[in-house]
């Protein structure tokens, strides 16, 4: 058993969708979250810049007592691929857990992926899926506006701007007749209702952040690192920009007020 916290980082606030699930499935665990809100988005940056930011984010979390690190960012996870940047504690991104879930869920063998431009151009999800099952047919589409729409609160199911963007982005995915769609950016679950409406009832949505949280629990169980505390865990949030803006926008991701202390901190 281990009483240290689970460390989670993201380029901004999308990783809070993973925190929400972690709180639900491991309510006694403590969580330390770092959101690099001053440098969002990562998805339009160069590979070298994303790699540098990732090292800095991990180094920040390692300054705190953590027993596992989750890269709750589709872009970072895609740049890392199957490589782990730490070797002394469990680590996961969101790509492999989501790819595994999609391969298990699909019935017709056709899987769609939506993500940031960096995620889609990396081909990471396709690689992970084909490593699991080479027979799967994969269609990927970059959706660069989704992160900005979510960050600015355009999240209502019937918001005309978000729906128009989704209809255009998802058209090639629908044409491919997929029955499973990976939401390959941790922002996207916030507009899952809109995406589901456009994709139709026959398509199952796979949340990369939810699958990463489930996989993290599995890793901690296998290595006997779950806390044995019977007390409810607590969350601590660090952001590289405005605390007040984080608190205001975090409601979209947590579906509630921020449930913990928030600090502004430089990397």
- Contact (Cβ atoms closer than 8 angstroms) between residue 102 and residue 206: yes
73 is catalytic: yes
In the block, residue with structure tokens 């699930």: 21
Query: SS3 string of 94-122?
Result: CHHHHHHHHHHHCCCCEEEEEECHHHHHH
Catalytic member of 103, 143, 185, 219: 185
219 is catalytic: no
Alpha-helix runs per DSSP H in the chain: 16-25, 47-62, 74-80, 95-105, 117-122, 124-132, 144-151, 160-175, 192-199, 208-222, 243-254
Structure tokens at 1: 């058993």
Distances (CA, A) of 222 to 9, 26, 46, 64: 22, 14, 36, 23
Q: How far apart are CA 37 and CA 246, in angstroms?
A: 8
Residues paired with 238 in a beta bridge: 34, 263
Catalytic member of 73, 103, 143, 219: 73
- Would you call the peptide bond into 41 cis, given omega within 30 degrees of 0 as the criterion? yes
The DSSP result for 228-261, as a single string, is: ---SPP-EEEEESS-HHHHHHHHHHHHSSS--EE
Task: Cite the active site residues.
Answer: 73, 185
């Amino acid at each position: 058993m281990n009483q240290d916290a689970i460390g989670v980082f993201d380029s901004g606030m999308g990783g809070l969708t993973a925190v929400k699930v972690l709180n639900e499935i491991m309510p006694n665990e403590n969580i330390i979250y770092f959101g690099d809100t001053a440098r969002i988005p990562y998805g339009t940056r160069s590979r070298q810049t994303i790699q540098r930011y990732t090292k800095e984010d991990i180094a920040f979390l390692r300054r705190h007592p953590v027993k596992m690190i989750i890269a709750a960012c589709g872009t970072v996870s895609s740049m890392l691929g199957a490589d782990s940047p730490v070797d002394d504690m469990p680590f996961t991104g969101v790509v492999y857990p989501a790819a595994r879930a999609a391969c298990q869920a699909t019935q017709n063998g056709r899987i769609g992926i939506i993500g940031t431009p960096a995620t889609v151009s990396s081909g990471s999800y396709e690689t992970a899926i084909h490593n699991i099952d080479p027979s799967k047919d994969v269609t990927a589409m970059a959706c660069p506006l989704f992160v900005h729409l979510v960050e600015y609160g355009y999240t209502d199911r019937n918001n005309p701007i978000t729906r128009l963007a989704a209809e255009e982005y998802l058209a090639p995915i629908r044409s491919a007749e997929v029955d499973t769609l990976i939401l390959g950016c941790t922002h996207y679950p916030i507009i899952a209702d809109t995406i589901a409406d456009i994709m139709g009832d026959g398509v199952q949505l796979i949340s990369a952040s939810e699958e990463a949280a489930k996989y993290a629990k599995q890793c901690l169980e296998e290595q006997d690192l779950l806390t044995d505390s019977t007390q409810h865990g607590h969350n601590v949030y660090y952001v590289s920009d405005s605390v007040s803006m984080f608190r205001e926008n975090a409601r979209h991701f947590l579906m509630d007020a921020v449930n913990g202390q928030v600090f502004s901190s430089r990397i």
